[in-house]
């Protein structure tokens, strides 16, 4: 049963005077003890950070009884905070290409208040919870900048080798038969479970029944940018483009100011909408400063429509702008690359889906070199067939070197930025997430590199991009709340989620057989 949205976000909303409503953020299952108990347990601990913490905490505890007006030598260095996470490496993304060895991240009321060397942090802070990850790397949680979350229920269902056949003969008939609010809820819950355990803390969704996606993310306490779908054709959710916009904008108003749920206008594609509908999308985006996300030039058949090139049409209608996150952008000529760069739009690169559907490969290195923000997305699980951002990042990096060898080649740090900060930029969230810097929400992914496949470590960024798997994700926090602990979901009943997914498989398989 879903909790009310207000109940879920209560711990995140500040009250006047800086107090928080509800309990503090539960950051993890690390040390959560009194100072004296922490000292006893850490006195003979094996880790250096444990010994340092004991020294600092012991000095504070042994300073003697407090008296009004009396300051003790260690008080200035022992600020009370909710949590301190220490790790072998921290890659904050900002500043670019920085790797902090033996670092620490301090969290208070769900936000990052400092990223600093562990020794300094353990002397400065007295955390309610101390989490030590001595063989791990901390980095921002991945931002999946484009997916269709509910399509997890069609994973492996449609395996046609071409996009048009896959859509028209397999996916669209199945969706027309099965999509309703329950289908979306069960599919999104499955997607959230998969994404969280793979280190994703935020996803941008495009699907019917967006209100259900928002409810699921709120219940899971995950960050989401909910796409407000806009299509001309009648669907089970709305009868026209105008009704799509009206319902979508009401949903936007409902979640205005929510710390975890934001919205973006999501016209399906240029050929799915006429000029009038696209112009209304643009006007609403401009007036509300809402991001837009749209499939653009995914296949060669989408480059020209009614004698006009798609990019030129979008420019004519005013949709080429910094508010647009153009998904795919596989087929572009040199002039269109320049137009994209000039407009300041973002491109969401979905390499695995593009490869599986045989539509080509985005020139991500060239776009990035021209100043275009390139983010990464998995697309839906029906065309990928997973929602694994680490795997997506590796594929993108390899394609940039092997398929477009004469073009600029982003390095490992560039791809880590594409999977984190650039995704946040594409969704209009870069001021609050996407990097580990002071003041941003503590959306964090922790990955254990002490595995046979990722040792020894010479270049931690390259190790993450080219060798690491999602099974190595140990912990995930969103707004300071632990959603994955030691590889396991902290708040989601995975067995129940899988049971519902299995029930849908039985229904869909019995009722419809795809054709190759």
Give me 408's structure tokens: 């600029």
Residue 504 has a pLDDT of: 96
Half-sphere exposure of 361 (CA within 13 A, CB side): 19
Radius of gyration in angstroms for the set of CA atoms belonging to the chain, rounded to a whole number: 24
Q: What is the rounded distance in angstroms from the CA atom of residue 355 to the CA atom of residue 378?
A: 12
Give 86-114 as a DSSP string.
EEEEE--SSSTT--EEEEEEEEETTEEEE
Please list, in sequence order, all residues whose beta carbon lies within 8 angstroms of the beta carbon of residue 57, skipping any fewer than 6 positions away.
35, 38, 39, 42, 78, 126
> 294: exposed, middle or buried (C-beta count within 10 Å: 0-12, 13-18, 19+)?
buried
Q: What is the rounded distance in angstroms from the CA atom of residue 191 to the CA atom of residue 70?
A: 54
Residue 349 has a pLDDT of: 98
Name the residue with tokens 């309610």: 128
Q: What is the rounded distance in angstroms from the CA atom of residue 101 to the CA atom of residue 49?
A: 13
Residue 45 has a pLDDT of: 38
Per-residue 3-state assignment (H helix, E strand, C coil) for 22-61: CCCCCCCCCECCCHHHHHHHHCCCCCHHHHHHHHHHHHHH
DSSP code for 441: B
Give me 116's structure tokens: 């600093």
Which CATH class, in words, describes the domain spanning 24-140?
A: mainly beta
- CA dihedral defined by 511, 171, 216, 226, rounded to 10 degrees? -160
Is the pTM value of this prediction over 0.95?
no
Per-residue 3-state assignment (H helix, E strand, C coil) for 113-173: EEEEEHHHHHHHEEEEEEEEEEEEEEEECEEEEEECHHHHHHCCCCCCCCHHHHHHHHHHH
Give me 23's structure tokens: 């309990």
Give me 348's structure tokens: 């969401």
What sign does the CA torsion over 141, 145, 148, 151 have? negative
Instruction: Report whether 200 contacts 141 (CB < 8 A).
Output: yes
Helix (H) or strand (E) holding 288: helix 275-288
Instruction: Report whether 330 contacts 307 (CB < 8 A).
Output: no
Question: What ranges in 138-274 are assigned the alpha helix state H?
Answer: 163-165, 172-178, 181-197, 210-220, 241-254
Helix (H) or strand (E) holding 9: helix 5-9
**From start to end of 350-504, where are the E strands?**
373-376, 444-448, 473-478, 481-485, 488-489
pLDDT in tens, the chain (516 residues): 333 333 333 333 333 333 333 334 445 444 443 333 333 333 333 344 444 443 344 333 323 333 333 333 454 558 999 999 999 999 999 999 999 999 999 999 999 999 999 999 999 999 999 999 999 999 999 999 999 999 999 999 888 777 888 878 888 888 889 999 999 999 999 999 999 999 999 999 999 999 999 999 999 999 999 999 999 999 999 999 999 999 999 999 999 999 999 999 999 999 999 999 999 999 999 999 999 999 999 999 999 988 999 999 999 999 999 999 999 999 999 999 999 999 999 999 999 999 999 999 999 999 999 999 999 999 999 999 999 999 999 999 999 999 987 889 999 999 999 999 999 999 999 999 999 999 999 999 999 999 999 999 999 999 999 999 999 999 999 999 999 999 999 999 999 999 999 999 999 998 755 444
Helix (H) or strand (E) holding 424: helix 421-426
Fold topology of 142-428: TIM Barrel (3.20.20)
**Nearest one of 393, 360, 361 to 376, comparing CA atoms:** 393
Helices and strands, number each (H, E), in the chain: 19, 18
Residue 160 has a pLDDT of: 76
What are the sequence ranges of the domains in the chain?
24-140, 142-428
Give me 429's structure tokens: 């969230």
Length of the chain: 516
Q: What is the rounded distance in angstroms from the CA atom of residue 199 to the CA atom of residue 220?
A: 14
Residue 421 has a pLDDT of: 98
Give the other-Cβ count within 10 Å of 253's Cβ: 10
Give me 257's structure tokens: 């100011």
Residue 55 has a pLDDT of: 38
Instruction: Report whether 487 contacts 197 (CB < 8 A).
Output: yes
Q: What is the rounded distance in angstroms from the CA atom of residue 375 to the CA atom of residue 294?
A: 14
Instruction: Report whether 222 contacts 253 (CB < 8 A).
Output: no
Give the other-Cβ count within 10 Å of 456's Cβ: 6
Instruction: Report whether 465 contacts 415 (CB < 8 A).
Output: yes
Pairing of strands 481-485, 473-478: antiparallel
Q: What is the rounded distance in angstroms from the CA atom of residue 39 to the CA atom of residue 16?
A: 35
Q: What is the rounded distance in angstroms from the CA atom of residue 493 to the CA atom of residue 516?
A: 35
Give me 31's structure tokens: 């040390």
């Amino acid at each position: 049963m879903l909790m009310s949205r207000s109940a879920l976000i209560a711990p995140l909303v500040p009250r006047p005077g800086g107090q928080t409503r509800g309990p503090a953020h539960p950051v993890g299952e690390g040390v959560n003890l009194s100072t004296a108990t922490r000292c006893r347990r850490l006195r003979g601990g094996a880790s250096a950070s444990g010994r340092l913490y004991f020294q600092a905490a012991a000095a504070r505890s042994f300073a003697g009884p407090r008296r009004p007006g009396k300051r003790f030598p260690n008080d200035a260095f022992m600020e009370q905070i909710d949590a301190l996470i220490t790790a072998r490496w921290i890659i904050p993304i900002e500043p670019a290409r920085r790797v902090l060895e033996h670092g620490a991240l301090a969290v208070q009321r769900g936000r990052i208040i400092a990223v600093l060397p562990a020794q300094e942090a353990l002397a400065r802070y007295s955390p309610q919870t101390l989490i030590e990850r001595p063989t791990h790397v901390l980095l921002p949680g991945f931002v999946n900048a484009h997916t269709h979350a509910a399509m997890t229920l069609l994973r492996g269902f449609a395996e046609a080798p071409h996009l048009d056949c896959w859509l028209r003969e397999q996916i669209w008939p199945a969706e027309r038969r099965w999509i309703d609010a329950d289908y979306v809820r069960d599919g999104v819950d499955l997607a959230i479970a998969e994404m969280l355990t793979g280190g994703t803390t935020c996803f941008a969704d495009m699907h019917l029944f967006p209100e259900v996606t928002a409810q699921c993310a709120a219940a899971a306490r995950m960050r989401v940018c909910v796409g407000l779908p806009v299509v001309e054709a009648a669907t089970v959710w709305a009868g026209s483009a105008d009704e799509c916009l009206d319902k979508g904008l009401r949903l936007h108003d409902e979640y205005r100011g929510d710390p975890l749920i934001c919205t973006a206008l999501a016209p399906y594609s240029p050929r799915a909408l006429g000029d009038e509908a696209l112009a209304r999308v643009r006007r609403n985006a401009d007036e509300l400063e809402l991001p837009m996300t749209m499939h653009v030039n995914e296949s060669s058949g989408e480059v020209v429509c009614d004698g006009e090139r798609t990019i030129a049409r979008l420019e004519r209608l005013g949709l080429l702008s910094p508010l647009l996150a153009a998904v795919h952008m596989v087929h572009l000529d040199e002039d269109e690359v320049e137009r994209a760069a000039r407009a300041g739009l973002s491109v969401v690169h979905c390499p695995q889906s593009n490869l599986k559907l045989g539509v080509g490969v985005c020139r991500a290195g060239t776009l990035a070199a021209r100043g275009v923000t390139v983010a990464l997305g998995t697309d839906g699980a029906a065309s990928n067939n997973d929602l694994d951002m680490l795997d997506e990042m590796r594929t993108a990096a390899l394609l940039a070197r092997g398929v477009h060898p004469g073009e600029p080649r982003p390095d490992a740090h560039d791809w880590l930025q594409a999977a984190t900060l650039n995704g946040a930029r594409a969704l209009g969230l870069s001021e609050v997430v996407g990097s580990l810097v002071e003041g941003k929400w503590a959306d964090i992914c922790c990955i254990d590199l002490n595995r046979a496949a990722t040792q020894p470590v010479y270049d931690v960024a390259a190790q993450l991009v080219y060798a690491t798997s999602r099974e190595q994700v140990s912990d995930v926090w969103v707004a300071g709340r632990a959603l994955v602990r030691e590889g396991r979901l902290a708040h989601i009943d995975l067995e129940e989620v899988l049971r519902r997914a299995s029930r849908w498989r039985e229904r869909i398989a019995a009722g419809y057989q795809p054709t190759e």
